[in-house]
Copies of this chain bind each other. A is one copy, B any other.
Amino acid sequence: MSERPRTRRTTVYDVAQEAGVSIASVSFAFRRPEQLSDATRERVLEAARRLGYAPSASARGLARGRTGILGLHAFDLMLERAHEPEARVRALRDLHSPDLEGPRTIAWTETDDELLADPRAFPLYVDEVQRGFALECWVMGRPVMLSSGSDNDVSVADTAGRVDGLAIFPSEGSAAALSRFSSSIPIVLFSAAPAADGHHRVRVDNTGGMREIMAHLLDVHGVRSFAFVGRLDSWDGEERFAQYRESLIQAGLAPEDEPVDATVRGPDRMAEQLHALAAAGRMPRALVCSTDQNALAAMDVVRELGFRVPDDVIVTGFDGILAGRLSTPALTTVRQPMEAMGRAAARILAGTAGPLPEDGSPFDAVFAPALFVRASCGCG
């Protein structure tokens, strides 16, 4: 441990003794100041200040039955991110090994900088949503708890036990684990399948967004050969792929049955598949990607294969993260109102989101995205 022996925490008992009152009066001094005479209240507060009294949130939470905290949970956020720019993993380990000691200067290299300030690693979709969530909580005067963990029951239960309400970026198998808790605390799932589990939903209109992208490519650019890059392991991915296919069918084109697999974890199959398409001389005119991250990765691969973007191959994204605005060419995409979605989740959990639907069903807040036409499709 890095800490010297600490003095026992100051409690209500200490303050009560110091101020010559009962512990109830100490509690009242903070929670119901109007119930005490000015003199007593001041005496108590002064004693508390003198003793460095910090009321135990655990005790308060236990007595009151709620913690006052709203939580935002992401499954394995760390791992997902650690794997992406492969170098990140190294960075994490390195920071673990050298012990910090005493007052000393910690050197820092440019390599680290390039790594740490990479907009392709931060801020991503979750970061912007998280920011909205946190801002809204602060406006309400509530602290926020951010957690990340695997989607096993224990981890989820543990998180659920710490908060009055929980917003979650769900993972593939987590829905079942989550529904279990929505009877005791409100749960908001971002971009999750409709469920009879009683949890609320905050999501973007994937169908509308994808329809806009496809309309732009079909009508403005007259594209007739497509491929979809992404995964079907999330509700967002499924909806986007479904509308992609729908749009092609409407246009009289035959969509493929499977997307080009763009996993961000494990071996990258996307490059392999794009290479295969190129080798077969069947590289499509447009790559419609499920996310901006997928799109940026796809652009790299496509260029590696000797194609120019957008001249030879058009690439589009989905989400509207900062990195897509900064890339060359800038990414044509559909932007989600991420901060607003985070805020909405917080308000739903806090119970300040307005009346529930009449029929007693949970909230299902669907946000409209906005098309941003930029250079990666040949416009702008």
CB pair B106–A368 under 8 Å, yes or no, is: yes
Q: Looking at the complex, which one of B55, B107, B147 makes contact with A157 (CB distance below 8 Å)?
A: B55
Closest to A353 in B: B100
* A154, B3: Cα distance in complex, Å: 25
Known A-B contacts A52-B183, A54-B158, A103-B366; the reply to A339 vs B116 at CB < 8 A is yes
Which B residues are in CB contact (< 8 Å) with A7?
183-184
CB pair A2–B354 under 8 Å, yes or no, is: yes
* A169 contacts chain B at the CB level, 8 A cutoff: no
* A54, B57: Cα distance in complex, Å: 18
Chain A positions 118-168 with a Cβ under 8 Å from a chain B Cβ: 119, 122-123, 127-128, 131, 134-136, 138-139, 141, 143-149, 153-154, 157-162
CB pair B52–A184 under 8 Å, yes or no, is: yes
Known A-B contacts A54-B157, A145-B144, A184-B7; the reply to A117 vs B30 at CB < 8 A is no
| Residue interface mask A23-49, B partner, CB < 8 A = 1 | 000000010000000000000000011
A14 to nearest B CB, angstroms?
Answer: 11
* A170 contacts chain B at the CB level, 8 A cutoff: no
* A380 contacts chain B at the CB level, 8 A cutoff: no
* A112 contacts chain B at the CB level, 8 A cutoff: yes
Which B residues are in CB contact (< 8 Å) with A369?
108
* Stretch of A252-260, A291-299, A319-327 lying at the B interface: A319-327
CB pair A354–B3 under 8 Å, yes or no, is: no
* A113 contacts chain B at the CB level, 8 A cutoff: yes
* A78 contacts chain B at the CB level, 8 A cutoff: yes
* A146, B351: Cα distance in complex, Å: 20
CB pair A103–B363 under 8 Å, yes or no, is: yes
Closest to A335 in B: B113
A76 to nearest B CB, angstroms?
Answer: 9
CB pair A92–B139 under 8 Å, yes or no, is: yes
* A308 contacts chain B at the CB level, 8 A cutoff: no
CB pair B49–A58 under 8 Å, yes or no, is: no
* A110 contacts chain B at the CB level, 8 A cutoff: yes
Q: Looking at the complex, which one of B49, B67, B148, B351 makes contact with A138 (CB distance below 8 Å)?
A: B148
Which B residues are in CB contact (< 8 Å) with A90?
none
Which B residues are in CB contact (< 8 Å) with A123?
122-123, 127
* A8, B183: Cα distance in complex, Å: 9
Which B residues are in CB contact (< 8 Å) with A355?
2, 99, 101
CB pair B2–A117 under 8 Å, yes or no, is: no
* A266 contacts chain B at the CB level, 8 A cutoff: no
* A62, B107: Cα distance in complex, Å: 41
* A95 contacts chain B at the CB level, 8 A cutoff: yes
* Stretch of A212-220, A221-229, A231-239, A342-350 lying at the B interface: A342-350
CB pair A143–B159 under 8 Å, yes or no, is: yes
Which B residues are in CB contact (< 8 Å) with A136?
95
* A303 contacts chain B at the CB level, 8 A cutoff: no
Closest to A99 in B: B354
Closest to A198 in B: B4
* A148, B140: Cα distance in complex, Å: 10
Closest 10 CB pairs of A and B: A99-B354, A58-B61, A102-B357, A103-B364, A52-B180, A143-B147, A57-B162, A54-B160, A54-B161, A58-B62
Given A55-B158, A143-B162, A326-B326, output 17 extra A-B contacts at Cβ < 8 Å.
A2-B356, A3-B351, A4-B360, A6-B184, A52-B180, A54-B158, A54-B185, A57-B67, A57-B162, A95-B340, A99-B355, A103-B357, A103-B364, A104-B365, A116-B128, A116-B340, A141-B149
